[in-house]
Chains A and B, each alone.
Chain A
Amino acid sequence: MNSSHKIYHTGFGDQAFEIDCNNDDAYDLAEFLFEDFPGARNTQSVKQYDIISSGPIPMLSLWDDDKRLYFGESRYKLAYILINEVIFHSINNNDTHHALHAGCVCKDNRCFILPGRSGNGKSTLTSWLVLNGFQYLTDELVFLNSDAEVLPLTRPISLKIGPDHPSWLLSGEHTNIISSDTGSMIPHRLLNTEFKQQQPKVTDIIFPLFKPDAKLELKKISPAKASLYLLQSHVNARNLEGHGVSEMAAIVKQCRLYTLSYSSFNDLTQIFNAESELFE
């Protein structure tokens, strides 16, 4: 065994993970992905993966037992596959939390979740908010317990665009972004250095809708409508008693609820500023 062989331990919700890394390069990649993960709580099972890196221009492979999940030179592609594996196993058997596809940020004692299906722009909106002074919690997945406490899956921000894209938000060159022709993973501290691992109570639920010709509008909605929309982002309802609807409804009733239509980031400064109704 190589002397630099190490195991990276991480976890989310009730699921623990061990990432077996054959050298420092493989370990660095695991650390890049899971550095801000909260760790497993009541560990019911441990899932193992292997990252193998070899050669001067490292060839990488990702393994689930004897099944090879990736082989090639792309750090981004390996990272993307591994993070999705981890998300799947964190959700799959979880019956203690409500798992929601949602971005999550906080500011001034308010915690905002931004639910939406994959590909609806939640990571882009989350990035913009983080770049504009909100603290990052996640761009992809939150677990909510019955007390409305958020357990965020704090991973690097994952965008489907690269630095050459016109809507790329960061300026300058950064060596610690993982990119490929299909997307990028950005350490969230590049957008906002202020970060504290926390599990606040959700105070506001905003359902974002980006459309190129949309009129800017932040509209209050009723708890019944918000619950209906939230069910569309609820990914482990099948594991919960009564599909978690009553418990989710109780959480929703405690929050301020909005839909947000917008067509550009310039618009958003009118909504997310200290004088807006969101911070009343």
Chain B
Amino acid sequence: MNSNITPKPNPDFIAEQFDDEILLYNKTGAQAVYLNPPAHTVWLLCNENLTTGEIIEFLQQQYPEQREQIREDVVSALEMLQENKVIELVNE
């Protein structure tokens, strides 16, 4: 995944918070998406107008001991969010 791509959250989704998990559902009620804690963190960062590279870098600074795993986890979470139309990946 290109590091310069910026994930843009779909404003049609509303979040229901459960401790460190989250359920996103769209306004028509036709779709709901469950986010585990790592995906939840990535989704929160998608709301900060960061590029994919910046999201990975931020998390690697926060969790240096998991540096290697973080890129894979972020890419996988972004792919899942894009598949469910929760975000759009924009090449700016």
- Decide: A224 and B25 in contact? CB cutoff 8 A: no
Stretch at the interface among A14-22, A123-131, A190-198, A235-243: A235-243
Chain A residues closer than 8 Å to B63, beta-carbon distance: none
**A222 close to B (CB within 8 Å):** yes
Which residues of B, 29-46, contact A by the 8 Å Cβ criterion?
A: 29, 32-35
For chain A, give the interface size range: 10 to 19
**B12 close to A (CB within 8 Å):** no
- Decide: B29 and A224 in contact? CB cutoff 8 A: no
Which of B18, B32, B33 is A223 in contact with, Cβ under 8 Å? B18
Chain B residues closer than 8 Å to A189, beta-carbon distance: none
- Residues of B within 8 A of A (CB-CB), count: 13
Chain B residues closer than 8 Å to A242, beta-carbon distance: 14
**B50 close to A (CB within 8 Å):** no
Which residues of A, 147-182, contact B by the 8 Å Cβ criterion?
A: none
CA distance A249 to B29 in the complex (A): 14
Which residues of B, 10-59, contact A by the 8 Å Cβ criterion?
A: 14, 16, 18-19, 21-23, 25, 29, 32-35
Which residues of A, 209-225, contact B by the 8 Å Cβ criterion?
A: 222-225
CB distance from B36 to the nearest CB of A (A): 8
Tell me the interface secondary structure of chain B in the complex. strand
CA distance A11 to B16 in the complex (A): 34
- Decide: A225 and B16 in contact? CB cutoff 8 A: no
Chain A residues closer than 8 Å to B21, beta-carbon distance: 222-225
In the complex, 14 of the A-B residue pairs with CB atoms within 8 angstroms, ordered by the A residue number, are: A223-B18, A223-B19, A224-B21, A224-B23, A227-B16, A228-B33, A237-B29, A242-B14, A243-B29, A245-B16, A245-B23, A249-B16, A249-B23, A253-B18
Return the 10 tightest CB-CB contacts between A and B, nearest first: A224-B21, A243-B29, A224-B18, A228-B34, A223-B18, A231-B32, A237-B29, A249-B16, A224-B23, A227-B23
Known: A243-B25, A246-B16, A249-B18. 11 other contacts (CB 8 A): A222-B21, A223-B21, A224-B18, A224-B22, A224-B34, A225-B34, A227-B32, A231-B25, A243-B29, A245-B16, A253-B18
